[in-house]
């Protein structure tokens, strides 16, 4: 059955760290943009810095929101941010709530990422045992190489990690607390300053693939560095760390990359990531957004 994704306001799909229109060999939001458009939605993908602070990326998003509003003649937009894109969306909504109808966080590190904490320690000399630091730093560098084709670890990537640590996001949350739960693992307020807040995320599913995709392999390798949310993460972001506003669900069986690229695995058993976006567009439409 064709879903009605005709929202009142345009949808902006906001990419996270290292995101452009394409990452590696695949298009960001693979099939999702087309499915939403087929369902009747007006969809745009803003172009933000691949690696930068949450506030800088948020300012870039605000400028592009203005362009979308001018081009479409609408008064507001619906922001759906993946990963760090959720933080940019939150920033834009906090500063310009009159231009943002809703913010939806998809696998967003709204309370920081344990992986970012560990990576920051690994990249700081003396913070971790040498062999552990080398192991995770090499893993991260290989991951970046897969995403953007660069064999070295970009210095901007190292700087951007600070914005995603528990401490970095904590400082961000002190300034922009809209939609945050008051208690760990809870729901946040669904509406703040006229902006609706939603979130969903996944956890690593049991893999039966005999030849898993490289991105799946990295997500599983990174998940080993989670402590507080061990077994409750998507490889890059913890389940409860992702909570914001109305939590639709935070344990869909999918890893961090499958949330924007359903074709990255041979099968995303138990859920269809594209369908999540279509159902959410219907949810926004029914809410008058």
DSSP string, 84-143: HHHHHHHHHHHH-TTTEEEEEEES--TT--HHHHHHHHHTSTTSS-HHHHHHHHHHHHHH
Give the helix, strand, coil percentages of the chain, each rounded to 5.
Answer: 40, 15, 45
Q: What is the reported pLDDT for 58?
A: 93
pLDDT of residue 120: 84
- Supply the residues annotated as catalytic: 272
The pLDDT score that the predictor gives to residue 267 is: 47
CB-side neighbour CA atoms (13 Å) of 60: 19
Q: How far does CA 50 lie from the centroid of its chain?
A: 13
Neighbours of 283 (CB within 10 A): 17
33 Cα distance to chain centroid: 15
pLDDT for 264 equals 47
Q: Which residues of the chain fall short of a pLDDT of 70?
A: 1-2, 19-27, 128, 130-131, 145-156, 207-212, 262-270
Given a contact cutoff of 8 angstroms between Cβ atoms, the answer to whether 114 and 227 are in contact is yes
pLDDT at 209: 62
* Residues 222 and 171 sit within 8 Å (Cβ to Cβ): no
Give the pLDDT of residue 186. Answer: 95
Q: How is the chain split into domains, by residue range?
A: 11-286
Task: Give dist(CA 41, CA 169) in Å, integer.
Answer: 32
- C-alpha 175/C-alpha 198 separation (Å) is 19
pTM: 0.91
Q: What is the CATH number of domain 11-286?
A: 3.40.50.1820
């Amino acid at each position: 059955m064709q879903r009605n994704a005709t929202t009142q306001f345009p949808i902006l799909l906001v990419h996270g760290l290292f995101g452009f229109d394409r990452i590696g060999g695949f298009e960001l939001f693979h099939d999702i943009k087309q499915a939403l458009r087929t369902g009747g939605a007006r969809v745009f993908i803003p172009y933000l810095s691949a690696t930068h602070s949450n506030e800088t990326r948020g300012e870039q998003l605000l400028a592009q929101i203005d362009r979308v509003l001018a081009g479409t003649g609408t008064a507001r937009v619906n922001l759906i941010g993946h990963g760090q894109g959720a933080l940019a969306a939150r920033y834009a909504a906090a500063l310009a709530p009159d231009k943002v109808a809703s913010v939806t966080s998809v696998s967003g590190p709204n309370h920081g990422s344990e992986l970012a904490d560990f990576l920051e320690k690994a990249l700081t000399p003396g913070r971790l045992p040498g062999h552990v630091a080398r192991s995770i730093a090499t893993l991260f560098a290989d991951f970046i190489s897969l995403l953007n084709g660069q064999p070295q670890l970009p210095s901007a990537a190292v700087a951007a990690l600070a914005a995603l640590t528990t401490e970095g996001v904590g400082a961000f949350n002190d300034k922009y607390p809209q939609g945050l739960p008051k208690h760990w693992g809870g729901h946040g307020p669904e509406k703040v300053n006229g902006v609706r807040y939603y979130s969903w995320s996944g956890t690593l599913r049991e893999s039966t693939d005999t030849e898993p995709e490289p991105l799946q392999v990295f997500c599983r390798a990174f998940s080993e560095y989670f402590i507080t949310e061990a077994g409750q993460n998507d490889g890059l972001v913890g389940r409860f760390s992702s909570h914001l506003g109305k939590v639709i669900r935070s344990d869909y069986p999918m890893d961090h990359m499958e949330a924007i690229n359903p074709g990255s695995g041979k099968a995303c058993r138990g859920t269809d990531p594209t369908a999540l976006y279509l159902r959410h567009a219907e949810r926004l439409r029914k809410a008058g957004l």
